[in-house]
Amino acid sequence: MTTSMQAAVLETRGRHGLRVRDFPRPVPAAGEALLRVHAAGLNRVDLYMRDNGQGITHALPIVQGVEAAGVVAEAPAGSGLRVGQKAVLYSNAVCGHCRFCRAGDQPLCLRADIMGEHRHGGFAEHVAMPVHCFFPLPDDADLVGAGALMTGHLTAWRMVFGKRALRAGETVLIVGIGSGVAVACLQLALMAGARAIVTSSSDTKIARALELGASAGVNYRREKVSARVLELTGGEGVDMVLESSGQDSWSESLKSLRRGGRLVTCGATTGSNPGADLQRMFIRQLEVYGSTGGSFEEFRQVVALFARGAIKPVIDRGFPLARVTEAMDALGRSEQFGKLVVTVP
């Protein structure tokens, strides 16, 4: 019986610290099952883990990759999982006992272990996770799309439909179209019946977004975003802004909101400390709130829609596991539209 596997293992920080090599195949602990990985989406946090990792409790070496889909390879009796069945992982091994888990709000869990951050991840032939993190898929499910579902579409789902859901007929501004989560936000906003305006520094990405159904795009290198958004909304501003960029776009994002509008942020790629613009916030009664991941119940909804073809992640490119560093380089250049995915032959 094979006891080793190929995996992308982070041994030391930096580009050369991540190596695809033999690594012990995970042995599922009690209550865990084993997934034979077929595809695993790439995310900004993978670059952060590789090059920095501060603030994330973990030990090296660690197998990277914070999401994965594949086929059940081992499952404990009574788990309801079947060997050979396709599945996508909820990549957060939550405690199940804290007040947030008990309330069904898993992303707030006090003792969660995220794969690829706190425990071994999905850039490998196999990954072990608790049984309740396995979400079965139909036999005809596309595993590459499924491997890119968790961080993009689940995060977008909570942003769009969480706390203050986007409603049909509303207008939303999606900042930095091209990233996996921004493209997922666009797809879900359109599904909700909203009108979407996108921003980018790339005319090509704006053109792709228009093809997908966005109503307008603003190239922030050439145009002042808020001025253009006001023009497009009859001087009012948008009902909702979806942000993952942070510092560089924040001020223009706030200025693009209508009175009483809301801004949801799930990232800070360009920095964490923009000006707060408090006067604008209270006078115009804006709401600003954060979002990360989604709950089991939200993931169940996302997976159900994916399973029947109503949600289809936009895949920019796939890279075989052996070329994971090349994939990371591509992500670092931010040239993609949609998700980059590592495939595990």
List residues near Zn ion by CB under 5 A. 94-95, 98, 101, 109
- Minimum Å distance from CB 126 to Zn ion? 25
Q: Which residue reads 């994330």 in tokens? A: 56
Q: Is the Cβ of residue 94 or residue 185 nearer to Zn ion in the bound state?
A: 94
Q: What is the DSSP letter of 66?
A: S
- Minimum Å distance from CB 291 to Zn ion? 18
Q: What is the DSSP letter of 282?
A: H
Euclidean distance between CA atoms 250 and 264, whole angstroms: 11
- Minimum Å distance from CB 93 to Zn ion? 10
Q: Is the Cβ of residue 101 or residue 144 nearer to Zn ion in the bound state?
A: 101
How many CB atoms lie under 10 A from the CB of residue 342?
Answer: 31
Quote the strand ranges of 122-162, DSSP E.
126-130, 134-136
Question: Nearest to residue 161, comparing CAs of 179, 183, 188?
Answer: 188
Q: Is the Cβ of residue 110 or residue 207 nearer to Zn ion in the bound state?
A: 110
- Measured in degrees and rounded to the nearest 5, phi and psi for residue 254 equal -60, -40
- Minimum Å distance from CB 107 to Zn ion? 10
| Contact in structure between 102 and 170 (CB atoms under 8 Å) | no
Question: What does the block give as tokens for 65?
Answer: 């990759």
Euclidean distance between CA atoms 299 and 309, whole angstroms: 15
Region for residue 288 given its phi and psi (left: phi exceeds 0; alpha: psi -120 to 50; beta: otherwise): beta
Cβ partners under 8 Å of residue 161, min gap 6: 188, 192, 298
Q: Is the Cβ of residue 95 or residue 191 nearer to Zn ion in the bound state?
A: 95
- Minimum Å distance from CB 62 to Zn ion? 22
| Contact in structure between 278 and 269 (CB atoms under 8 Å) | no
Euclidean distance between CA atoms 229 and 300, whole angstroms: 34
Q: Is the Cβ of residue 107 or residue 121 nearer to Zn ion in the bound state?
A: 107
Q: Is the Cβ of residue 62 or residue 94 nearer to Zn ion in the bound state?
A: 94
Q: Is the Cβ of residue 98 or residue 131 nearer to Zn ion in the bound state?
A: 98
- Minimum Å distance from CB 292 to Zn ion? 14
Q: Is the Cβ of residue 95 or residue 281 nearer to Zn ion in the bound state?
A: 95
N-terminal to C-terminal alpha carbon distance within the chain: 19
Question: What does the block give as tokens for 49?
Answer: 């883990």
- Minimum Å distance from CB 94 to Zn ion? 5
How many CB atoms lie under 10 A from the CB of residue 160?
Answer: 25
- Minimum Å distance from CB 90 to Zn ion? 13
